[in-house]
Amino acid sequence: MKRPRPRPRPVAGRAGGDADAFVSSPARMPLLFRGALRVARRRTGADLQPIAALTWSPRAAIGATALEALAARPVGRVDERLLKLVRLTVSFTLTCPFCVGLNAAGWESLLTADELATTQGLRKASDVASLAARERLAIGFARGVTQTPPALTAADGRALRESFSEEEIVVLAATCAQVNYWARLVQGLGYDPAG
């Protein structure tokens, strides 16, 4: 016998426009997901309603949780600072305030205001002396791979191979893909990109 689906909770009508979302958070969700959302809210300090809405499909929620848990972490010369630059570049390239909000947390301890402006596309990476050549390359890669269609050339690939190991390139590409996933998911569920 199939259990009836729980009724959705009404989504609070806020300035962000979440009342227009295609789905709301389930009124009751499995205990495992409730705990994971509490931890995520505590860590990010963000409203995670789009992520809570994923629990309508436990497989989608588990997949997204696994993606986040296994997300690119610092490896080799791809450190926390470089990952922050990449995540912010993708977030701003996609114009996803939800992603910007999550990925910008703690930027002040890793980046300067000029470096942040570079991720926003307000400054050229070549004009910011504090950015290392590898960081400039990673920012360009993040911007290029996020465009539709991706704007990457054979020369871009050669430059990446000269500056990063294969494992590091995979981490950079996976990081870009992860931020793209969340941006498209938030938009696909009908949430205001502000989250």
Structure tokens at 155: 């020369």
Q: What is the pLDDT of residues 171-186, one digit of tens each?
A: 999 999 999 999 999 8
The pLDDT value given to residue 70: 77
Question: What value does the mean pLDDT of the chain take?
Answer: 85
User: CA-CA-CA-CA torsion for 121, 126, 128, 131, nearest 10 degrees?
Assistant: 100
Residue 77 backbone dihedrals phi, psi, to 5 degrees: -90, 5
Give, for 118, the enclosing helix (H) or strand (E): helix 113-119
Give yes or no for residue 83 having a pLDDT over 80: yes
Helix/strand/coil for 92: helix
Which residues are CB-contacts of 26 (< 8 A; sequence separation ≥ 6)? 5, 6, 8, 9, 52, 53, 55, 56
Percent share of the chain, pLDDT over 90:
51
Give yes or no for residue 98 having a pLDDT over 80: yes
Domains and CATH numbers, the chain: 19-69 (no CATH), 80-187 (1.20.1290.10)
166-188 vs 58-69: helix axis angle to the nearest 10? 150
Percent share of the chain, pLDDT over 70:
88
The pLDDT value given to residue 49: 83
Residues 141 and 172 sit within 8 Å (Cβ to Cβ) = yes
**If pLDDT is split at 50, 70 and 90, which confidence band does 191 have?**
confident
Q: What is the pLDDT of residues 37-78, one digit of tens each?
A: 888 788 777 768 888 888 899 899 888 888 877 777 899 999
Helix/strand/coil for 78: strand
- pTM greater than the 0.85 cutoff: no
Residue 75 backbone dihedrals phi, psi, to 5 degrees: -150, 135
